[in-house]
Amino acid sequence: MLTDRQLFILQIIIDDFIRSAQPVGSRNLAKKDDVSYSPATIRNEMADLEEMGFLEKTHTSSGRVPSEKGYRYYVDHLLSPGSLRRSERTAIHSVFADRQEGLEKAVQNAATILSELTSYTSIVLGPKFNDHKVKSLQIIPIDAQSAVSIIVTDTGHVENKIFSLPEGIEPADIEKMVNILNDRLTGVPLSELRQKIYKETTELMRRHLHNYEAVLHMFAEASGGSPIGKLFIGGKTNIFNQPEFRDIEKVRLVMDMMEKEHDMYELIRPTEAGVQVKIGTENAEQAMEDCSLITASYSVGDEPVGTIAILGPKRMEYSRVITLVDFLSHDMTNVLTRLYNTRT
C-alpha cells in the first residue's frame, strides 16, 4: 500500500509531467512551493514508486516519467475533480441549441467544439437510428430499371438508396405497394423493418398485386441501411501539437488509424456506461500505444445510442477532459431524450 506521502509525490509528479512533458527530477520537485521535502527524501520515495511500477526512467540518470500503471492509478485514485469554466459550459450548450440544423450537423458541431476546447482529437459516433421509427416510406421510380427507396423516420432522419426494378413493373403498382407499406409499417423501428416488410405486407400484396415479390425483395434489401451511426472526427491535426509526437512515424501511425473508419469504430465501441479511460496499450489498437482515449456514451432515455471520445497523448489532461466529456455526454443525453423520447 502507498503512504500518503507517496500518493502526494506520485500525484505531483504526474501533474508536472502532464504539464511539461519533461521527465521530472527530485531537485526540481523539491523547489515547488507546496513540496516541503528535500530532494533526497523525494529520491527515496521515487525509487520506491519506481520499484512498485508507478514510475519509469527513460535512462539510468534521467528524471522519472509516469508508467502506464502510474497513469492508471492516477486516474483511478488521484484525480481532483475538475470544473468547467462558464465559457466552456455555454459553448457546449450551444451545440444543441439550434435544432433546425438537423441532428447530423449538431453531432458534427459537438466534435468540433470538443476538439477546440481540449486541443486534442475528438471522435463522435453519431446516434444509430435503430430504434427510430418509420414515419414514411417512398419508392420513386427513376427510369425503367431503377428506383430510389426513401425511409423517413420520426426523428426526421432520411435514408435512401437506389435499387433496380424488375422488368415491366407498372407505376400504378408501385403506388399501391407504397400505400400498403406505409399502411403497415409506420411506427416500426428501423431495426425491425427488414423482417417486418415481409411479415406484415406479403399477404396484402398478394391479394392486390401480382409480380410484387421482386420489387419487395429489392426494397427490403435497400432498407437494410447501416445499423450504426456516422463517425465525426474533429481536430485531427491536433496531435501535431504534442511534443512527444515530434516523431513522424508515431504521428503517421495515429493518422493512418484515424483514416480507417473500421478501426475507429472498434476503438470507441462502447463497453460500459459512464466515462471510460483507456490508457496506452489498454486500447487494443497498436497505434494507440502512446495515446489515451476517454469515451462516454450518450443515450436516448436508457438506450445508449452513440459515443463521444477524446484521443490524446497518454500525458493527457485527464481531469479536465473527463469532466468535459462527462458533461457533454450528459448534455447530449438530456437534449436527445427530451427531443426523441416523447415517442414511447
Partner DNA sequence: TTTAGCACTCGAATAGAAAGAGTGCTAACA
Partner DNA sequence: TGTTAGCACTCTTTCTATTCGAGTGCTAAA
Q: CA-CA distance, 190 to 35, in Å (whole number)? A: 59
Q: CA-CA distance, 292 to 71, in Å (whole number)? A: 10
Which of these segments, 20-28, 144-152, 233-241, 311-319, binds DNA (CB under 7 A)?
20-28
The one of a second copy, DNA, none whose footprint includes residue 43, by CB under 5 to 8 A per kind, is: DNA
Nearest to 135 by CA among 153, 150, 149: 153
Which of these segments, 23-31, 83-91, 144-152, 232-240, binds DNA (CB under 7 A)?
23-31
The one of DNA, a second copy, none whose footprint includes residue 84, by CB under 5 to 8 A per kind, is: none
The one of a second copy, DNA, none whose footprint includes residue 118, by CB under 5 to 8 A per kind, is: none
Closest contact distance (angstroms) between CB of 314 and DNA is 19
**CB of 327 within 8 A of CB of 84?**
yes
Note the residues at the interface with a second copy (CB under 8 A).
Answer: 100, 102, 135-136, 138, 140, 142-143, 146, 148, 150, 152, 154-156, 158, 160-164, 236-237, 240, 246, 248, 251-252, 255-256, 259
CB of 84 or CB of 339, closer to a second copy:
339
Left if phi > 0, otherwise alpha if psi is -120 to 50, otherwise beta: which for 156?
left
Which of 7, 8, 12, 37 is close enough to bind DNA by CB under 7 A?
Answer: 37
Cross-strand partners of 140? 148
Q: Which residues contact 169 (CB under 8 A, 6 or more apart)?
A: 211, 214, 215
Using the rule CB under 7 A, is 18 a contact of DNA?
A: no
Closest contact distance (angstroms) between CB of 145 and a second copy is 9
Amino acid letter at 59? Answer: H
What residue has cell string 398478394? 206
The size of the interface with DNA (CB under 7 A), counted in residues, is 25
Q: CA-CA distance, 146 to 156, in Å (whole number)? A: 25
DSSP secondary structure of 7-47:
HHHHHHHHHHHHHH-S-B-HHHHHHSTT--S-HHHHHHHHH
Cross-strand partners of 24? 64
Cell of residue 197, nine digits? 416488410
CB of 49 or CB of 139, closer to a second copy:
139
Closest contact distance (angstroms) between CB of 9 and DNA is 11
Using the rule CB under 7 A, is 6 a contact of DNA?
A: no
Binding site residues, DNA, CB under 7 A = 5, 23-28, 37-41, 43-44, 46-47, 50, 57-64
